[in-house]
Chain A
């Protein structure tokens, strides 16, 4: 199998790569959203629940 074959996916490139692109967008998007939510929370109020020991990490 050559790289050309790999990218063409036997003519189904749009459908196969389209599926994995959507997967990357929704899974990556979820991770980014959770991180932003956490960042915004900490910026506003600090992290009152984290013990002082793990805060240093």
Chain B
């Protein structure tokens, strides 16, 4: 099988369509399973009571926000460096879902902060850097929306996305580098987890659900982007007369 075939947006389009339900349906099942374990199997926390159950959506959302940003920047960089249209479109599609998860992590964090810290928001390092992540996503989306020529929008977005990657390790290590109100990492690679196994299981099931959901929704949006660009290009070719000015041809 020739994999390069799928680097063409038009060739990848039907394949992406077939993949959407294969990720979307398991995502829905895992969301249900994760919530079941989180609410009916995991015990009440001895310190925080039931307020801690926000963790099952808050932590996966925060992780997705960071991981999707790195993925978006990687696709944007590939699209820029190798002039690969499909990779650039993938970055555009990823940006919306990444922004959604980052917003969700901030919103659920506020709802968790109020009962446990007594405040919706503080300007501590973890929260401020996460807010900057949301602004980076919004900046990427707005910048691309402001440029009519898709390939130029892709390049401009790539620069912003790549520069912004520096923020991701800042978010990740913020709880170690600075004194923050936000608690330290719950899960560390080399340490034993400090959570009860059902709590941990619920969190990872929800994380898997978020990943599957992201793949499904990003591919579905990617199909819309491919179709939009295809139709725009087709229309420009058909409607422009031979005498049409060259500025119009540039967008083809």
Q: Which residues of A contact B (CB under 8 A)?
A: 1, 6, 9-12, 15-16, 18-20, 22-23, 26-27, 30-31, 34-35, 37-38, 41, 44-45, 47-51, 54
User: Interface SS of chain B: helix, strand, loop or mixed?
Assistant: helix
In the complex, whether B140 has a CB less than 8 A from a CB of chain A is: no
A33 to chain B, nearest CB (A): 8
| CB–CB A30/B230 < 8 A | no
Q: Which residues of B contact A (CB under 8 A)?
A: 10, 13-14, 17-18, 35, 39-40, 44, 49-51, 53-54, 57-58, 61, 96-97, 100, 103-104, 107-108, 111-112, 114-115, 213, 217, 220-221, 223-224, 226-228, 230-231, 234
User: Interface SS of chain A: helix, strand, loop or mixed?
Assistant: helix
Of B104, B114, B221, which contacts A26 at CB under 8 A? Answer: B104
Inter-chain contacts of B51 with A (CB < 8 A): 9-10, 12, 15-16
Q: What's the Cα separation between A20 and B217 when bound, in Å?
A: 19
| CB–CB B53/A16 < 8 A | yes
Inter-chain contacts of A51 with B (CB < 8 A): 14
- A23 with B104: in contact, given A16-B53, A49-B10, A54-B17 (CB under 8 Å)? yes
| CB–CB A20/B57 < 8 A | yes
- A12 with B226: in contact, given A22-B107, A23-B108, A49-B13 (CB under 8 Å)? no
Of A12, A18, A22, A34, which contacts B50 at CB under 8 A? Answer: A12
Q: What's the Cα separation between A41 and B227 when bound, in Å?
A: 8
Inter-chain contacts of A34 with B (CB < 8 A): 217, 220-221, 224
Of B40, B50, B100, which contacts A30 at CB under 8 A? Answer: B100
A3 to chain B, nearest CB (A): 11
Among B103, B227, B230, the most chain A Cβ lie within 10 Å of the Cβ of: B227
Total A-B pairs in contact (CB under 8 Å)?
A: 92
Q: What's the Cα separation between A19 and B96 when bound, in Å?
A: 20
- A50 with B217: in contact, given A22-B104, A41-B228 (CB under 8 Å)? no
Of B104, B213, B234, which contacts A48 at CB under 8 A? Answer: B234
Among A20, A35, A38, the most chain B Cβ lie within 10 Å of the Cβ of: A20
A-B contact pairs, 28 of them (CB 8 A): A6-B39, A9-B51, A10-B51, A12-B50, A15-B111, A16-B50, A16-B53, A16-B54, A20-B57, A22-B104, A22-B111, A23-B57, A23-B61, A26-B103, A26-B104, A26-B107, A30-B100, A30-B217, A34-B217, A34-B221, A41-B227, A41-B228, A41-B231, A48-B227, A48-B234, A49-B10, A49-B227, A54-B14
| CB–CB B54/A19 < 8 A | yes
Of B18, B49, B221, which contacts A11 at CB under 8 A? Answer: B49
